[in-house]
């Protein structure tokens, strides 16, 4: 987890939450995975799934007039069955919200305060088809129908990455 933070009046300000797996949490209020209201904070490349809350199973966003320079990008946010994936208590307009997959099986991906986010700035609402979440495997199953690369190009890229990491 990448943290850049300082405390101000008991709150964490300017936190970077980068490349984490946030699963199986619960909250009686606020977000089941994350309750968000930080200026200058970034939430990037996270998988947030199977969290439980009546105010946003994945994330609950509380925008304030002072919330500036926030970024929520390239995350997979999956709600529990029949819950809201991302709930907003003021409209999403202050932070930059882009290239996220926010999905809710049987529920709404976004709460009414979030406004329409799909397909704005590359954001989608699709089941990510995790490999096996029941045993904690939240890797996304590769699906050629969703890839913008030809399968041969995709496989070439994988082999080049593998060769670089092995030696």
Q: Is 106 left (phi over 0), alpha (psi -120 to 50) or beta?
A: left
Q: Is 97 exposed, middle or buried, given 0-12, 13-18 or 19+ CB atoms closer than 10 A?
A: buried
Q: What's the confidence (pLDDT) of residue 118?
A: 73
The lowest-confidence range among 20-29, 32-41, 43-52 is 32-41
CA distance 129 to 140: 6
| Contact indicator for 128, 104 with CB cutoff of 8 Å | no
pTM, full prediction:
0.75
* pLDDT(157) > 60: no
Biggest alpha carbon–alpha carbon distance for the chain: 54
Given a cut of 90, is residue 153 above it in pLDDT? Answer: no
pLDDT for 79: 96
Report the SS3 class of residue 153.
Answer: helix
Reported as a pLDDT band with limits 50, 70 and 90, residue 95 is low
Mean pLDDT of the chain: 76
pLDDT at 15: 81
Residue 158 confidence (pLDDT) above 90: no
DSSP-derived secondary structure for 85-129: SEEESS-TTSSEEES-EEE-TTS-SB-GGG---TTGGG-B-----
């Amino acid at each position: 987890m990448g943290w850049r933070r300082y405390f101000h009046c008991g709150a964490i300000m300017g936190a970077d939450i980068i490349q984490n797996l946030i699963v199986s949490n619960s909250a009686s209020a606020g977000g089941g995975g994350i309750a968000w209201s930080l200026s200058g904070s970034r939430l990037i490349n996270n998988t947030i799934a199977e969290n439980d809350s009546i105010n946003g199973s994945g994330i609950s966003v509380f925008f304030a007039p002072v919330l500036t320079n926030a970024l929520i990008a390239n995350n997979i946010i999956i709600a529990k069955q029949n819950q809201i994936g991302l709930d907003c208590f003021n409209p999403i307009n202050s932070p930059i919200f882009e290239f996220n997959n926010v999905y809710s099986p049987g529920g709404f991906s976004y709460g009414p305060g979030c406004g329409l986010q799909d397909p704005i700035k590359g954001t989608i609402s699709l089941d990510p088809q995790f490999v096996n979440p029941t045993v904690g495997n939240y890797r996304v199953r590769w699906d050629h129908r969703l890839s913008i690369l030809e399968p041969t190009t995709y496989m070439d890229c994988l082999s080049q990455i593998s060769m670089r990491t092995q030696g």
